[in-house]
């Protein structure tokens, strides 16, 4: 009994160290600031709400055209990065479509109030 009472504090210490080690290994990874990859998509034709009407491009510069939004920037949350070419992930979008609104020119354009878009280029609201 005296041997057990001598070993009990040592066992408690070992268990405490093990618990600290286990719980600290599950901390959330630090967030990256500005290092997230950018995925630009250029409008082709058809309904702008349809993800298949946008084509991946590595060109992040603006675009030309009047009235319509011709380029969008999406976060990785809305992109299939495992496909070639990279595509928009319809399953991550509300109602499987890109959110759009009707512009003053009576055109369907990406909705600037939607959290789906990181950037919209050349929009004429």
Q: What is the pLDDT of residues 4-26, one digit of tens each?
A: 566 656 655 656 545 444 343 33
Mean pLDDT of the chain: 76
**Helix, strand, coil content of the chain in percent (nearest 5):** 30, 20, 50
pLDDT at 92 over 80: yes
Domain enclosing residue 91, as ranges: 39-121
* Residue 28 located in a structural domain: no
* Residue 115 located in a structural domain: yes
* Residue 82 located in a structural domain: yes
* Residue 84 located in a structural domain: yes
Which is higher by pLDDT, 56 or 124?
56
Which is higher by pLDDT, 125 or 98?
98
Residues in the chain: 125
Q: How many domains is the chain partitioned into structurally?
A: 1
* Residue 13 located in a structural domain: no
The pTM assigned to this predicted structure is: 0.66
User: What's the whole-number mean pLDDT along residues 81-87?
Assistant: 90
* Residue 30 located in a structural domain: no
CA angle at residue 74 from 69 to 80, to 5 degrees? Answer: 120
């Amino acid at each position: 009994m005296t041997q057990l009472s001598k070993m009990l504090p040592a066992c408690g210490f070992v268990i405490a160290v093990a618990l600290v080690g286990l719980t600290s290994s599950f901390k959330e990874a630090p967030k990256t600031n500005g290092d997230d990859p950018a995925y630009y998509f250029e409008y082709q034709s058809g309904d702008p709400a349809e993800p298949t009407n946008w084509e991946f491009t590595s060109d992040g510069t603006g675009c030309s055209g009047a009235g319509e939004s011709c380029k969008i920037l999406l976060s990785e949350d809305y992109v299939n990065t495992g496909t070639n070419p990279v595509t928009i992930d319809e399953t991550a979008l509300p109602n499987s479509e890109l959110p759009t609104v009707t512009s003053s020119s009576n055109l369907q354009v990406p909705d600037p109030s939607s959290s789906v878009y990181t950037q919209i280029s050349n929009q004429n609201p």
